[in-house]
Structure 1
Amino acid sequence: MRVYFTFDPRPDLKESLVNDFPEVDFIFHKTIDDKELAKAEVLVTYGEDLDEEKINIAKKVKWIFVASSGIEKMPHQAIAERGIVVSNVRGIHKKPMAESILAHLLSIKRALPFIYKNQQEKTWNQKTKLYELNGSTALILGPGAIGSEVGRMLQAFDVYTIGVNRSGESAPYMNETHSMDKLKELLPKADILISILPSTVETRYLLNYEHFTLLKDHCIFMNFGRGDLVKTEDLIRALEEKQIFHAVLDVFETEPLPGDSKLWEMENVTISPHISSRSSRYLERSFEIFKRSLRKWMNGERNLENKMDILKGY
């Protein structure tokens, strides 16, 4: 079996794979080589380097392992037509992303940007408002693996958590869980609105200006899912009109965020360049999932961990 990595992982991770699977030929490249792609039976990629042409070249590939949770940039139709199995690393982001979300929340509530600015300017200034996280209500769009971990951490701060998903079925660490059709009824309850939704047909531009008008004017909006959840112009309008208190954005409609975007200059916006999921342990956790799935694949099993419906996007 020939497994082709379109990125070059750390030496210790490569060595571990080779030692654990001596019967497999592993090829590691920093970019895609078409000759190697044509020989591969299993492809390991971050997903963004694949297009329809590459899938046509990869005639022997039966399984694509995506070392990322998002697959929106992959050639869905071409992969589906070939019947290629796709799985990803869903769930490995929950620890770093939940910590990032909590860090941003506490930073805003406890005025850390104000404190850091004063330190740089050597200014003793106590004129700022400080708020507490406890006693607030968080509305979490997408209480899956990441959202539930966020809920667990927030509940430790006595935050009431409300999850919103497609089915309305209960989710871990949610005090309540509702279906997406109840969204407008739930928005007025939120002191914090957190989205961890993927990019799908159902979630694209799910939020609009009207939704922001339903939120409390002290609400903090946090988008850590995908940037096409809301049109940038609608969000900017809501922020300019002070419909919400603050927005923390890790994802954007266009990435990198253009230098002329109004978002850069707004005092009630925190911009994170899509790095909330990063961690020194990212690939380590990815390889743990890949090893389990590779063992299954070699045994003839096709119901892999985190197997995806490529056309649905999840």
Structure 2
Amino acid sequence: MAIDAGDLIFEFRRIRINHPLLAPVHSAFDTLRQLRRKILQTGVRVEASAYGLFSVSQAGKTGAVLSYLENQVVDYCYEVGLFPRTISRYDVQISQRVVVVVTLTGETLISLYKDILEAYGDPRPEGSRIDPLATRVRAYINHFNTELLIFDETQHLRVAFSVSTAMLAAQKAHDRLKGFLLAGLPIVFVGIEVAEKKIMSDQQVGLRSFRNIPFPKLDYSKPGDRKVFEDFCGILGLKLAVHGLFRKRSNFLQGDLPSLIFESVDGYLGRAARLIEAAALRANDEDADCVERRHLSLGCEDFAIANKLISYNPFEQVGGVAI
């Protein structure tokens, strides 16, 4: 029996798959947090570092951050006694403030501080003056001994303009961001590629962001990359059944399916997941036992072509000719 589409999306997006692209991301987060802990333990203030995690939209960056929160951060909270193990992992994840993820919603400095306050759960994040907002943010950081700030959707932040008034606002934003680093709090900027250009436009922030965290698209011609992609698709097909979304395992490794999925999403795991999600919705509409080739073709139409990731449907072609 088909399930409600909203329920399918909810459960699908709870699926997590550990893959090799996560390792350098999580290792970088660990390095920044260890630096912060050393500063807090010794009381010796040194300048912190800022890293960048930039890639195309829906590449899987946010998923990499969520995976870190759900695993490494929750495990750490249990290990150091911040939460008893009787508290569920989910409740620890949403309650902890060791690593704080701030989703940026606006481009102004005031909106930046409001977004940070909302991430801390502040009941009154509103305000029209920067200094009081900044004071409250510092109080939260110090109270919780926050080890890492992660700014997601960084492309929204105004940090590079040529018009004089806008340039002044951008400079103030840069100064505040540098202030976090000078105070010994590491930052990770997460966003699409245009965000990297914005953040790196200021040499001072650019020099402090001495490392970009690799999150590349895969190359199907390379055996190692092909294995990563195929493993991801194979596990996802299995997890659709494990999570109760379909009665049988979906075999995304059959024949040319891996290469067609790869072609449709240009080699990004996050986009592959979104295409398969769209296909799963189509299969659910039919009350199918599993997701099959025809559903993947429809998923390509609904996701990849609709979002202009590709102009044709690889599932509907044989030898490069439309069928």
Instruction: Give the structure-2-normalised TM-score.
Output: 0.34
- Structure number with higher helix proportion: 2
- Structure number with higher strand proportion: 1
Instruction: Give the structure-1-normalised TM-score.
Output: 0.35
